[in-house]
Every structure is written in C-alpha cells, then in structure tokens.
Amino acid sequence: MSRLRSLIEAGDRLVLTGEARTMDAGDLDDFSEKTVEMAEWVDAINATDNPTARAHASNVAIAIAIAQMGAEPVLQVVCRDKNRLACQADVVGAALHGVENVCCLTGDDVTAGDEPQACRVFDLDGPQLVSVVDGLSRGRYLSGRSTGRPLDLLVGAVENPGAPPLEYRAERAALKIGAGARFLQLQICFLPERLEAFVSALDRAGLCQQAAILPTIVLLRGTRGLKFVHDRVPGVIVPPETIARIEAAQDESEAAYALALEQAREALALPGVRGLHLTDFRHDGALSRLCEDLRIPTREERYADAYRSPLAV
C-alpha cells in the first residue's frame, strides 16, 4: 500500500502533496536536484502529464524517476492526449515500477498550449477515467479482461472550486468520489469565498471523510506570475485587487510569498481540508519557508511521531 494511501486512510493525519517540475532534456541527477527540496516536505509528488498542454518528459518516466530518488510518486493521467487504451497502459506500466498513486484529470485543451494544432482526444472524461482506474485497481481493464492481479491503487482526481457553474462543482466532485477518487487536489483558487463554499458543501455532504481534500497553493515570484496564471491557466482568475496589492508592495517577491502563506493558512483552517497540494514556481527555498511558517515538520519528522495536523479536519 502506498504511503499516501495509508496516511489518507488514517483519517486524521496531515496530507501534503506537491507538483514535480517539468523536465525536458537532462538526466536523472538534474531531476533529483530540482526535486529534492519538495521531497523533504511532501508525502507524494505528482508526475505531471503535459501540463498546460505542452509536451515534456512523460508522466510515467517522471513517476519512475521520483520513485528512484526515494520519494513517492503520484502518476497524473490526463484525458487530452491519449485514448482509453493509452491511459490504461500508462497506469498499468507505471504500477509495474511500483507507482501506486494515480490522479485523473480531464485536462486543459490543446489551445492552452504551444501546439494548438494537435488533435484533442478526450476519449474518456475525468470522472470516467477515475472509474476506469478504479477498475484497474480492482484487477480489470475496461474491456473486462483481467490485469492478472489487482493493482491496488490509490485513485484521486482534481476539481476546480472557482469555475462556473459554482453551485454544481461540489456535485461534480461527488461524482468523482463516487467513481473511486480518494483524494482531490483542487485547482488553484484566488477567491477564498469560493474555496470555502465548495469545501463546506462537500463537508456537509460527508464527503470530506471519503476523500482527502487538498487545496492547491502556488508559490509565485510576483505579479508576472500572477498575471501568467490569470491569462494562461484555463478556469483560474486572479482578481485585479490581488494583483494591485502585490504590485503596490515594496518587495513584490515578499508580498507574493505572504499571499501564498495567507492562502495556505486560510485553506488549512477550513473544516474538511486534510492538507495542501503545493506548486512551486519560485525555486528559491520558499517551499521550505512556507512549511516552516505553517509550523509543519518535515516529512520524516511527521512520520516519526505520527503527526496530526493541529488545523486540519
């Protein structure tokens, strides 16, 4: 059983996940160097699958690289680039290398990336992929053919608490949880009232006990990053007041860090939230600083004394 799964199933332990940096040319040493800081803090690291519709080293290759450096990978699988055969092959192939956590996404459209001419696949959608991977976990391909033995995976998904139709988002999350998702990494949300409404709808429905809810915190260097997120990440808006506030600060980078810390504190204080999903675009030690400021011990320290979050759930 994966470490992430045992933490989630424990019910009261803090859960931290993170997003690995994308890799292009290079070697595994480059990769570990870039990932070592994150690995010190988070329980599991996402191997992304062509994020924002740009080609990079593949999800499976990165997941294996994460496992080889002694950290625990989460294989992201996106419906945009692969049909149902290829999605299943990713999961089964990675499992052969010991990858036991899978996060299923519908995915940004090809128009979000640098190859808008690409064919968009979407043979499955996000909730269907969750169900198919849950089937693999129980030992069956979608066709019904046996995988030989159950893959015994931890399946998760993503939901965007901030995109319309707002009142329907919790129901869509429920659909994914019903299909087998045991954790939800939420899309970055710069509107705290939307995040709160979403999490409290899930909590009222008793769903936060069935899946670990992990809001995303993104570490950016300043307004350029915020504007990039606003303009380029589909379904995410950064309110102009937020950008203005950072712009007006003496030290933009410090203000951007303070914003992330404030978001992290607010997210962890929401009843029903189990932990955080961290994305670091700064690469300047801000990730360690964030965890320290939140008074979260390192991963090893947390395991040593079965750390429970003072804030979560």
Shortest distance (Å) from residue 145 CB to another protein: 7
- Given the complex with another protein, which of 3 and 230 has the nearer CB atom? 230
Rounded to the nearest 5°, which phi and psi values hold at 238?
-110, 115
Site residues, another protein (CB under 8 A): 79-80, 84, 106-109, 111-112, 120, 122-128, 131-132, 134-135, 140-145, 158-160, 163-165, 167-168, 170-175, 177-180, 187, 201-202, 204-207, 210, 234-235, 237
Shortest distance (Å) from residue 158 CB to another protein: 7
- Given the complex with another protein, which of 59 and 187 has the nearer CB atom? 187
- Given the complex with another protein, which of 139 and 297 has the nearer CB atom? 139
| Residue closest to 129 by CA, chosen among 98, 160, 87 | 87
Shortest distance (Å) from residue 243 CB to another protein: 15
Shortest distance (Å) from residue 146 CB to another protein: 9
- Given the complex with another protein, which of 66 and 79 has the nearer CB atom? 79
Shortest distance (Å) from residue 171 CB to another protein: 5
Q: How many CA atoms lie within 13 A of 126 on its CB side?
A: 22
